[in-house]
């Protein structure tokens, strides 16, 4: 066990600079957006000003695809079906931006067409479906990654460096929450069991993935929660453990708001991530005596424009001939869904 040391005795107690690649310098790919909803619009916006180009947009409704192109991706080709989109010879990579209940079908469709895929989080509603996507991508030799954009943000790269350097000492606990009032008056996809609704797949994946990164993986998890009258999870509080024995305390709820903060707590120091920890935000390195040792200030206007960092990762790796990301490994995406499967099964 690492012994506690005063921060004054620990050399270099400063946050390192982020190593995040400049999105403007990444090699350009031609993107097809499968889905014409809100998250697709945010991706289109985030790619503006980079070398990435949205060349096609697909929807089951041709008029919706045309309206999306006109508003969010001028010059792109609208497709009135997903099969037409993935068959477009000008598309290098398909961003799966449909509801996650349809990710398996749409990812397999794009992979069968020989396209690289970036699949919006969660990769699929269940681990079994995710294994099918991963197996298909590996068999086809195409790039595949879950679009958990937090992993590619500058402050998370700094967190990763801090953990690699052992700057916090022995990591013992991780705390994170993500609660947003999206039910009962929010989108139907969150309320409906047929659309893989519920809090944990849509919101809880952020604290769970954060814990997986900070703990070095997940070996066990258990939790308590409440289902809605339609049988989807309204709120869940859960604990997870990593391979070293360190633990995480996590919570998600789709009926209330919460601070949505996070911390990684070690024997020498801790990292505190301010509100909306999963977005570009401010992070503090804090000594065991509560003194702030260093601060990384987040960009308050960045928000979902940070999606361009995951697109940069995709572009760099595909250009280099890689087929998955070391920052968001496919096996970790499957493992996170295995944990969520277990939590949801125990609630139901």
Q: How far is CA 208 from CA 122, 201, 265, in A?
A: 11, 10, 16
In a domain, 3, yes or no: no
Instruction: Give pLDDT, residue 299.
Output: 80
Residue 4 above 90 pLDDT?
Answer: no
In a domain, 160, yes or no: yes
Tens digits of per-residue pLDDT, 208-234?
999 999 999 999 999 999 999 999 999
In angstroms, the CA 91 to CA 230 distance is: 39
Instruction: Give pLDDT, residue 7.
Output: 46
Q: Residue 222 CB: number of other CB atoms within 10 A?
A: 12
pTM of the model: 0.94
Instruction: Mark whether 133 and 155 lie in a shared domain.
Output: no
Instruction: Mark whether 126 and 160 lie in a shared domain.
Output: no
In the chain, the number of structural domains is 2
In a domain, 18, yes or no: no
Which of 158-162, 188-192, 299-303 is the least confident region? 299-303
Answer with the one of 150, 183, 211 that is the final residue of a domain. 150
Instruction: Mark whether 71 and 170 lie in a shared domain.
Output: no
Instruction: Give pLDDT, residue 1.
Output: 41
In angstroms, the CA 35 to CA 340 distance is: 25
Residue 245 above 70 pLDDT?
Answer: yes
- Our measurement of the distance from residue 257's CA atom to the centroid of its chain's CA atoms, rounded to an integer in Å, reads 20
Please tell me which residue in 79, 116, 121, 270 is annotated as part of the active site: 121
- Paired sense of beta strands 144-147 and 171-179, if any: unpaired
Residue 10 above 60 pLDDT?
Answer: no
In a domain, 333, yes or no: yes
Q: Which two tokens stand for residue 100?
A: 């996650």
In a domain, 132, yes or no: yes
In angstroms, the CA 274 to CA 268 distance is: 20
Instruction: Mark whether 289 and 331 lie in a shared domain.
Output: yes
Instruction: Mark whether 196 and 290 lie in a shared domain.
Output: yes
Instruction: Mark whether 182 and 37 lie in a shared domain.
Output: no
- Residue 132, classed as helix, strand or coil, is helix
Q: How far is CA 37 from CA 41, 128, 190, 195, in A?
A: 6, 26, 15, 15
121 catalytic residue (yes or no) = yes
In a domain, 326, yes or no: yes
Instruction: Mark whether 75 and 87 lie in a shared domain.
Output: yes
Instruction: Give pLDDT, residue 326.
Output: 98
The CATH number linked to 62 is: 3.40.50.720
Instruction: Mark whether 140 and 193 lie in a shared domain.
Output: no
Answer with the one of 150, 174, 199 that is the final residue of a domain. 150
Instruction: Mark whether 294 and 177 lie in a shared domain.
Output: yes
The whole domain housing 236 covers: 151-347
Share of the chain above pLDDT 70, in %: 96
pLDDT range class, residue 300, cuts 50, 70, 90: low
In a domain, 213, yes or no: yes
- Residue 98, classed as helix, strand or coil, is coil
Instruction: Give pLDDT, residue 348.
Output: 84
Instruction: Give pLDDT, residue 304.
Output: 86
Instruction: Mark whether 238 and 336 lie in a shared domain.
Output: yes
Average pLDDT over the chain reads 95
Tens digits of per-residue pLDDT, 11-27?
568 999 999 999 999 99
Residue 321 above 50 pLDDT?
Answer: yes
Instruction: Mark whether 204 and 287 lie in a shared domain.
Output: yes
Sequential DSSP letters for 197-220: -SHIIIIIHHHHHHHHHHHTS-SE
Residue 70 above 50 pLDDT?
Answer: yes
The CATH number linked to 264 is: 3.30.360.10
Cis amide prior to 149 (ω within 30 degrees): no
Residue 9 above 60 pLDDT?
Answer: no
Instruction: Mark whether 125 and 253 lie in a shared domain.
Output: no
In a domain, 16, yes or no: no
The residue-averaged pLDDT of 72-93 equals 98
The CA dihedral of 99, 104, 106, 108, to the nearest 10 degrees, is 170
């Amino acid at each position: 066990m690492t012994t506690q040391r005063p921060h004054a005795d620990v050399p270099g107690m400063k946050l390192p600079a982020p190593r995040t690649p400049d999105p403007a310098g990444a090699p350009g790919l031609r993107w097809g957006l499968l889905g014409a909803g809100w998250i697709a619009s945010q991706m289109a916006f985030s790619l503006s000003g980079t070398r990435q180009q949205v060349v096609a947009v697909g929807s089951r409704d041709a008029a919706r695809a045309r309206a999306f192109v006109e508003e969010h991706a001028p010059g792109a080709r609208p497709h009135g079906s997903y099969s037409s989109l993935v068959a477009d010879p000008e598309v290098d990579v398909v961003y799966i931006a449909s509801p996650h209940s349809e990710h398996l079908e749409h990812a397999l469709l794009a992979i069968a067409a020989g396209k690289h895929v970036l699949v919006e989080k969660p990769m699929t509603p269940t681990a079994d479906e995710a294994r099918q996507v991963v197996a298909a991508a590996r068999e086809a030799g195409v790039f595949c990654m879950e679009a958990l954009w937090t992993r590619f943000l500058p402050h998370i790269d700094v967190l990763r460096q801090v953990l690699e350097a052992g700057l916090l000492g022995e990591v013992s606990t991780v705390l994170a929450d993500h609660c947003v009032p999206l039910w009962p008056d929010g989108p139907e996809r969150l309320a409906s069991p047929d659309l893989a609704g519920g809090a944990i797949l849509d919101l809880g994946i952020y604290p769970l993935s954060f814990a997986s990164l900070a703990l070095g993986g997940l070996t066990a998890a258990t939790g308590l929660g409440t289902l809605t009258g339609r049988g989807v999870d309204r709120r869940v509080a859960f604990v997870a453990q990593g391979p070293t024995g360190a633990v995480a305390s996590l919570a998600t709820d789709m009926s209330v708001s919460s601070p949505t903060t996070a911390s990684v707590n070690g024997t020498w120091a801790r990292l505190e991530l301010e509100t909306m920890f999963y977005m570009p935000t401010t992070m503090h390195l804090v000594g065991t005596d509560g003194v702030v040792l260093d601060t990384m200030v987040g960009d308050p206007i960045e928000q979902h424009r940070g999606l361009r960092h995951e697109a940069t990762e995709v572009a760099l790796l595909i250009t280099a001939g890689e087929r998955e990301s070391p920052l968001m490994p496919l096996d970790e995406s499957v493992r996170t869904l295995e944990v969520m499967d277990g939590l949801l099964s125990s609630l139901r």
